[in-house]
Every structure is written in structure tokens, then in C-alpha cells.
């Protein structure tokens, strides 16, 4: 492998790692905010990446679609799952597992 190809591979790997960490933080902050607005507890203060795919955004550009999962609780006694999908760094969808609304 020549040096130019190796440098390109290292640069691409570095960009992917940096972009993944940036989008992971966006997902974590959005999940925390969504739980707060719904009066839910955001458990473990983390989201986990569960999938990645190359897709086209509405303007036709190729972007990475990343899927995340996190856990929440409505009472503090249960652990329920939610899923969050980002297209690039924009929120595409958020799904909470059904839960009981506590007043």
C-alpha cells in the first residue's frame, strides 16, 4: 500500500470517529431533552448506537443515518426503551416504548 492511500485511510478513519462522537453527543442531548419535556427519567445518561446506513437526505445528498437506543422510566421502578434516528446530524424520528402517564 502506498503512503498516499494510507494517509487517506487514516484521515477518513479520523473524520468518521470525530463525526460519530459529535453526533452521539447530539443524540444524547436530544434524548435527555425529550425525556425532560415528557416528565420521564433519562436512565444511565447515555445512548447506544445500534445501526448505521448510508442514505440520501431530502435534498439528495448522501448522509449517514444512525440509530440509537436509550432507556427511560416514567416512575423510577421500570426500564423502558426508546429509539432515536438521526439523518446526518438532524433528528429523523423518536419512538418511546408505551408507558403509563403519571400525573
What is the mean pLDDT of the segment spanning 31-54? Answer: 96
What is the mean pLDDT of the segment spanning 13-29? Answer: 96
In whole angstroms, give the CA distance from residue 81 to residue 99: 10
In whole angstroms, give the CA distance from residue 69 to residue 46: 9
Q: 0.75 cut: is pTM over it?
A: yes
C-alpha cell at 73: 422510566
The pLDDT value given to residue 72:
97
The answer on pLDDT for 66 being more than 70 is yes
What is the mean pLDDT of the segment spanning 78-93? Answer: 95
- Residue 17: pLDDT band (50, 70, 90) is very high
The answer on pLDDT for 58 being more than 80 is yes
- Residue 1: pLDDT band (50, 70, 90) is low
What is the mean pLDDT of the segment spanning 73-82? Answer: 92
C-alpha cell at 41: 427519567
All residues at 6 or more sequence positions from 37 whose CB lies less than 8 Å from its CB, including other chains: none
Q: For residue 93, which of 82, 102, 101 has the smallest C-alpha distance?
A: 82
C-alpha cell at 82: 426508546
In whole angstroms, give the CA distance from residue 39 to residue 6: 49
The residues with which 73 forms a beta bridge, in sequence order, are 41
The answer on pLDDT for 31 being more than 70 is yes
Amino acid at each position: 500500500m502506498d503512503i498516499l492511500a494510507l494517509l487517506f485511510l487514516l484521515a477518513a478513519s479520523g473524520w468518521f470517529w470525530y463525526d460519530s462522537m459529535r453526533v452521539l453527543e447530539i443524540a444524547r442531548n436530544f434524548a435527555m431533552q425529550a425525556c425532560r419535556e415528557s416528565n420521564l427519567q433519562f436512565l444511565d445518561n447515555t445512548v447506544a448506537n445500534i445501526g448505521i446506513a448510508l442514505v440520501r437526505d431530502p435534498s439528495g445528498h448522501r448522509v449517514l443515518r444512525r440509530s440509537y437506543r436509550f432507556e427511560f422510566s416514567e416512575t423510577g421502578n421500570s426500564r423502558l426503551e426508546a429509539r432515536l434516528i438521526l439523518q446526518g446530524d438532524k433528528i429523523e424520528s423518536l419512538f418511546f416504548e408505551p408507558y403509563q402517564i403519571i400525573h
